[in-house]
Structure 1
Amino acid sequence: MSLVLTTASVPEGEKLSYWRDALGRALVPMAVTARADAPFRGRVATGRLGGLRVSTVEADAQRASRTAAHIAHARADYVAVGVQTSGTATLVQDGRRALVEEGDLVVYDTTRPYSLDYPGRFSTRVVHMPRRAVGLPEEELRRVAGTTIPGRDGFGALLVSFLTTLPVSVPPGSPVVATRLAASVVDLFATLVHERGAPAAAPEPSPQHHLVQRVRGHIDEHLTDPALSPQSVAAAHHISVRYLHRLFEEEGVTVGRLIQRRRLEECARELGRQNAPVPTVSAVAQRWGFTNPAHFSRVFRAAYGLSPREWRGSRDALLLAG
């Protein structure tokens, strides 16, 4: 079932506030400002397709920004791929500035700050893919985030055609169709990323970059330790907690939230495995460092929209567990 939100019947003085809330519900929370003094018009239709969120946005000129504050309170992490169906936009993420023209594909990562500036009325089709389900290495996602991909030939043209005809949702009772369509979108996107290949030359990573990578590796190695925390991570690397937090400011996620997210990802993957021994939910939670079953169930539902037991039998779990 799709959800349609429009400013058509909203009082003039409340349209922009309503629109900001509408985009937060349909896409992800962002700050939104209008670029003209004229009455604002906007419409968004959104729905679930398997594990994906598919939305069509039509609106007047605006600037939408996702900040570190929005990310800190996020309940889920997505990679977004959009098709500019009319109008133009400018995307800024990770220091990159990309002009998006009609027919182009644009890619951005909701776990790091970005802005989208639309100078005139526009329409776009956007698909939010759970970051955990995309299955691409971090370096490959970072390579395409904040970039425009021409949609005129190759896999770009194929993905544009697929996304523009993709239904916002499928009728109730068609979960198999929805899951297959969702898997096709993820596969096409991954193929497109691989097709683009590695950049000709990459800048030399900074010492801070190497330290961030070591911290991430340390977190992955110690996820099962209930005592893993920003304090223990900082101590292991002989730095202060304050400096550790400063290192991760550009990552768009706090160290504490990264630890929780990685633990949840491992729990979700294990709970979604098919044809394997079936441990209890509490056993899986404890294995990955969650000591409080009630807390685990609460944060799992906040991240995945389902309880751990509901997730175990869901179709979405198949995308992650493979």
Structure 2
Amino acid sequence: MSQVLTTASVPEGEQVACWRDAVGRALVPMTVVPRGAGPFDGRITTSDLGHLRVSTLEADAARISRTPSLIARSPEAFLTVGIQVSGTATLTQDGRRAQVREGDLLVCDSTRPYSLAHPERFATHVFRLPRPALGVPDADLRRITGTAIGTADGFGTVLLPFLASLAASAHSYSPALGSRLAGSVVDLVGALVAERTRQAGPDQDGTRAHLVRRVRDHIDRNLGDPALSPEAIAGAHRISVRYLHRLFEGQGITVGRLVQQRRLEECARELARHGRTNPTVSAVARRWGFVSPTHFSRAFRTAYGVPPSEWRGPRASAAAPGA
């Protein structure tokens, strides 16, 4: 079922504010500056397909912007994929400026500032999808933001007609089918990103290796946080959990196992130290992110062959990780 909002019945002095609020609810909070004085006419139709939101915007000439202050107040990570149905626009993001013509596709990332200047009345279909659902690195996403993609541009020949058709019929699908279609859109947009990344000739192995190093450094810096999990790690790096696991397929260890292994190593080091006052086993476990003493003791014994209470003395010092 679609929701429709129009400024037609709104008093003239409140039309721009009404339109700004409608755009903010459908997409992300934006500033709106009309091109001319007088009445402002806008209409927005919105439908939800699973985690995908499909909107059609028709409005008078205006400049809409996603500013740093709005990002700070509403930091939700969305990717918006638009199809220019009529009119033109100038898109600016990530240091690039693109002229968007009728029939072109454009991509914007809500976590970084961007603006769209419409010099005349326009209509556009906009697909809003959670950015983490794509499961691609931030560096790859930046290759398609601030650009215009036409039907003659590689994968655009497939994606554009599909999205245009879906936008026209988004209100007619059942929730189950809508969720499946949302997954298809995510996969197709991911394929577009992959195509653009290959065209740019990046060092894919180098990019993955760099991201793996960043993830490992993040884990080491946050071992004491009991909430450190694959979900938290993926969120901190703005990638999906699925992509995070894929990154570690060639590492010989899962992300969850790596976190536990590094925690155990630090616990073993600390327990093996000699000093005037030795911390209790439970204090060491808590310091390195273990919540349950029973779980810690069992995991430690599995890894080192003895319970943590016995992991002291010369033998333990010699066997401690990094000794």
Matching residue's letter, 2:23: L
Cα deviation, residue 76, structure 1 = 2.4
Larger mean CA deviation between 70-79 and 90-99 belongs to 70-79
Cα deviation, residue 171, structure 1 = 5.3
Equivalent residue, structure 2, for 1:108? 108
Equivalent residue, structure 1, for 2:236? 262
Cα deviation, residue 112, structure 1 = 0.4
Q: Which runs of 5+ in 2 are unaligned?
A: 203-209, 245-285, 292-323
Equivalent residue, structure 1, for 2:225? 226
Equivalent residue, structure 2, for 1:192? 192
Cα deviation, residue 215, structure 1 = 6.9
Matching residue's letter, 2:21: D
Matching residue's letter, 1:117: A
C-alpha separation in 2, matches of 1:185 and 1:110:
18
C-alpha separation in 1, matches of 2:147 and 2:140:
12
Equivalent residue, structure 1, for 2:158? 158
Equivalent residue, structure 1, for 2:261? none
Matched, 1:9 2:19: no
Equivalent residue, structure 1, for 2:50? 50
Equivalent residue, structure 2, for 1:20? 20
Matched residue of 1:144: which SS? Answer: coil
Matched residue of 2:53: which SS? Answer: strand
Matched residue of 2:102: which SS? Answer: coil
> TM-score scaled by structure 2?
0.64
Cα deviation, residue 156, structure 1 = 0.6
C-alpha separation in 2, matches of 1:110 and 1:144:
13
Cα deviation, residue 265, structure 1 = 7.8
C-alpha separation in 1, matches of 2:240 and 2:95:
31
Aligned pair in 2 of structure 1 residues 212, 72: CA closer, same or farther (>3 Å)? farther
Q: Which runs of 5+ in 1 are unaligned?
A: 203-210, 229-257, 271-285, 292-322
Cα deviation, residue 267, structure 1 = 8.7
Aligned pair in 2 of structure 1 residues 133, 223: CA closer, same or farther (>3 Å)? farther
Aligned pair in 2 of structure 1 residues 90, 226: CA closer, same or farther (>3 Å)? same
Equivalent residue, structure 2, for 1:117? 117
Identity %: 50
Report matched runs for 1:1-322 at 5 Å.
Answer: 1-74=1-74, 76-152=76-152, 154-167=154-167, 169-170=170-171, 174-198=174-198, 200=200, 218-219=217-218, 221-222=220-221, 225-226=224-225, 261-262=235-236
- Aligned residues of 2:135 and 2:241 also touching (Cα < 8 A): no
Cα deviation, residue 225, structure 1 = 3.5
> TM-score scaled by structure 1?
0.64
C-alpha separation in 2, matches of 1:196 and 1:100:
18
Aligned pair in 2 of structure 1 residues 220, 20: CA closer, same or farther (>3 Å)? farther
Instruction: Kindly provide the CA deviation profile for residues 16-61 of structure 1, in whole angstroms up to 9, marking residues without a partner as x.
Output: 1111111111111011100011321100111211111111000000
Matching residue's letter, 1:262: A
RMSD between superposed Cα atoms in Å: 3.5
Aligned pair in 2 of structure 1 residues 130, 266: CA closer, same or farther (>3 Å)? closer
Matching residue's letter, 2:184: S
Cα deviation, residue 262, structure 1 = 2.9
Aligned pair in 2 of structure 1 residues 201, 179: CA closer, same or farther (>3 Å)? closer
C-alpha separation in 1, matches of 2:130 and 2:44:
20
Matched residue of 1:166: which SS? Answer: helix
Instruction: Kindly provide the CA deviation profile for residues 169-201 of structure 1, in whole angstroms up to 9, marking residues without a partner as x.
Output: 4458x2320111111111111222222344557
Q: In terms of Rg, which structure is larger? A: 2
Count of residues paired in the alignment: 236
Matching residue's letter, 2:107: V
Matched residue of 1:143: which SS? Answer: coil
- Aligned residues of 2:60 and 2:122 also touching (Cα < 8 A): yes
Higher relative CO (Cα under 8 Å, sequence separation at least 6) belongs to 1
Aligned pair in 2 of structure 1 residues 269, 201: CA closer, same or farther (>3 Å)? closer
